[in-house]
């Protein structure tokens, strides 16, 4: 029994903008989707470019959806379609800026791993330039704003001291770390370059339905080659699970999340039995299935027909995919409200008892946003947990907007 059995109805791809008329897909959205496909059809891209396009709206869309670099690389191959010169110039500038940004980040990543090795610390790179290489063949093809690393919980204090010594300012104080406070991530910003680095541990991966064994990730690690450097990274099966959980965490509100999944399964040789096992290990089977379904139906990623579901197809996967398609074209500018968010979290987890337990855990697991200023290392976590639902209600209570 295959994991992907039904296709998303065409109606689900339509925008809900009344000005476009009922059952109308905007030219800008259609072009955006074609640019994000796992294997773009350049004949179809050229045909779409011959239709009227609101280029100001399109440039805004590719930024909101995090695919500026991808769109620029693909549209620049379509000059015969009469792409306006000013748009071609803008795309070229965006691509150049992304390339320089990637070079800075990659160089800093190399430096950090050298420093970690010298200090006897282990880390794994996730997302960022490593994912870009895995998905698109080069570190500057996808958009990212920070460098994400996985470290062990026991190494967080030593890693923090190392980062401070390298000129980084920690968002989480050493006192809070010693008090065993668990943030959303351990973030560091360089005082001069402003580059952002975030550490993740087993305690910060809150959106994994079941506790994540970081030791398993380290034991299965591989090396990804970037500019003659061998960077420690997740096994491809673990990275696929992680980016699907990350997309679910953010309600799949950006096309860039799906573009990464589509490109990843198109380029990476994957052991699908290992993928299924890794998803079951953290209870993320449905999150994986939704990511694969959307990537296949919307962006032409290959359907992994050899992945078997345990007993019967999960009907919630198709319903969740249709729900995501309602808000996806907005690119996060029209997020779901607080109750829709809550139900989505539960349905994405699945299970009569496990889904409400997952929602409760997320609702009462405080991060640094829930800590009281000046008392990060003094106030008990239980008080932070009690205040978290009220902060979330204030943040998302009005049509999902902060």
> Looking at residue 255, what is its pLDDT?
96
Least confident of 9-23, 93-107, 191-205, 357-371: 9-23
Which of 108-117, 311-320, 351-360 has the highest average model confidence (pLDDT)?
Answer: 108-117
> Looking at residue 46, what is its pLDDT?
87
Q: What is the CA radius of gyration of the chain?
A: 21
Read off the DSSP letter of residue 314: -
Q: Packing angle between helix 285-299 and helix 236-249, nearest 10 degrees?
A: 90
Q: Do the strands 196-200 and 147-150 form a parallel or antiparallel pair, or are they unpaired?
A: parallel
| Nearest CA among 232, 246, 185 for reference residue 369 | 185
Confidence class of residue 10 from pLDDT cuts 50, 70 and 90? very low
**pLDDT over threshold 70, residue 399:** no
Residue pair 376/368 in contact (Cβ under 8 Å)? The answer is: yes
Read off the DSSP letter of residue 253: -
**pLDDT over threshold 80, residue 374:** no
Contacts of 252 (CB under 8 A, 6+ apart): 258, 290, 291, 294, 324, 328
**pLDDT over threshold 60, residue 378:** no
How far apart CA 26 and CA 5 sit, in angstroms, is 28
| Nearest CA among 211, 208, 156, 209 for reference residue 182 | 156
Question: What three-state secondary structure class fits 168?
Answer: strand
Confidence class of residue 375 from pLDDT cuts 50, 70 and 90? low
> Looking at residue 387, what is its pLDDT?
76
**pLDDT over threshold 80, residue 312:** no
**pLDDT over threshold 50, residue 21:** no
Least confident of 226-235, 328-337, 370-379: 370-379
Question: What three-state secondary structure class fits 307?
Answer: coil
Q: Which of the two residues, 125 and 365, has the higher pLDDT score?
A: 125
Confidence class of residue 348 from pLDDT cuts 50, 70 and 90? very high
Q: Give the Cα-Cα-Cα angle 369, 370, 373 (nearest 5 degrees).
A: 80
**124-134 confidence digits (pLDDT tens):** 999 999 999 99
**pLDDT over threshold 50, residue 50:** yes
**74-119 confidence digits (pLDDT tens):** 998 886 566 888 988 999 999 999 999 999 999 999 999 999 999 9
Distances (CA, A) of 206 to 79, 212, 360, 385: 45, 9, 12, 14
For the chain, first and last CA: distance in Å? 42
Provide the residue ranges of all domains of the chain, joining segments of one domain with +.
10-332, 333-402
CATH number 3.30.460.40 given to 10-332:
yes
**266-303 confidence digits (pLDDT tens):** 999 999 999 999 999 999 999 999 999 999 999 999 87
**pLDDT over threshold 60, residue 7:** no
The helix (run of H) or strand (run of E) holding residue 318 is helix 315-327
How far apart CA 185 and CA 139 sit, in angstroms, is 23
| Nearest CA among 140, 69, 131, 66 for reference residue 107 | 140
């Amino acid at each position: 029994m295959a994991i992907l059995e039904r296709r998303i109805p065409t109606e689900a791809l339509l925008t809900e903008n009344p000005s476009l008329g009922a059952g109308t897909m905007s030219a800008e959205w259609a072009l955006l989707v074609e640019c994000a496909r796992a294997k773009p059809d350049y004949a179809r891209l050229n045909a779409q470019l011959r239709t009227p396009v609101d280029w100001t709206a399109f440039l805004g869309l590719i930024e909101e959806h995090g695919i500026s670099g991808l769109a620029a690389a693909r549209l620049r191959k379509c000059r015969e379609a009469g792409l306006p010169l000013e748009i071609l110039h803008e795309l070229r500038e965006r691509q150049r800026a992304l390339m320089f940004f990637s070079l800075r980040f990659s160089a800093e990543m190399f430096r950090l791993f050298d420093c970690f090795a010298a200090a006897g610390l282990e880390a794994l790179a996730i997302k960022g330039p490593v994912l870009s290489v895995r998905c698109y063949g080069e570190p500057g093809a996808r958009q990212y704003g920070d460098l994400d690393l996985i470290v062990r919980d026991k190494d967080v204090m030593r890693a923090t001291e190392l980062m401070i010594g390298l000129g980084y300012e920690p968002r989480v104080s050493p006192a809070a770390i010693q008090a065993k406070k668990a943030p959303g991530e351990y973030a560091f910003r360089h005082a001069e370059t402003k580059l952002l680095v975030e550490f993740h541990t087993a305690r910060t991966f809150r959106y994994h339905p079941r506790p994540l064994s970081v030791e398993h990730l380290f034991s299965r690690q591989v090396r990804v080659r970037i500019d003659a450097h061998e960077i420690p990274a997740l096994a491809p099966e673990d990275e696929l699970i992680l980016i699907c959980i990350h997309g679910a965490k953010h309600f799949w509100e950006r096309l860039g999340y799906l573009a990464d999944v589509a490109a990843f399964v198109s380029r990476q040789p994957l052991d699908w039995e290992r993928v299924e096992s890794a998803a079951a290990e953290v209870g993320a089977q449905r999150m994986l299935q939704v990511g694969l379904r959307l990537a296949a139906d919307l962006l032409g990623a290959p359907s992994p027909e050899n992945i078997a579901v345990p007993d019967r197809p999960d009907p919630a996967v198709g319903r969740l995919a249709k729900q995501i398609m309602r808000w996806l074209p907005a690119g996060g500018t029209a997020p779901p409200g607080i109750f829709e968010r809550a139900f989505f979290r539960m349905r994405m987890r699945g299970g009569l008892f496990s889904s409400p337990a997952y929602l409760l855990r997320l609702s009462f697991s405080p991060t640094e946003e829930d800590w009281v200023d000046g008392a990060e290392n003094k106030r008990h976590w239980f008080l932070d947990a009690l205040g978290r639902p009220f902060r979330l209600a204030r943040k998302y209570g009005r049509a999902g907007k902060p």
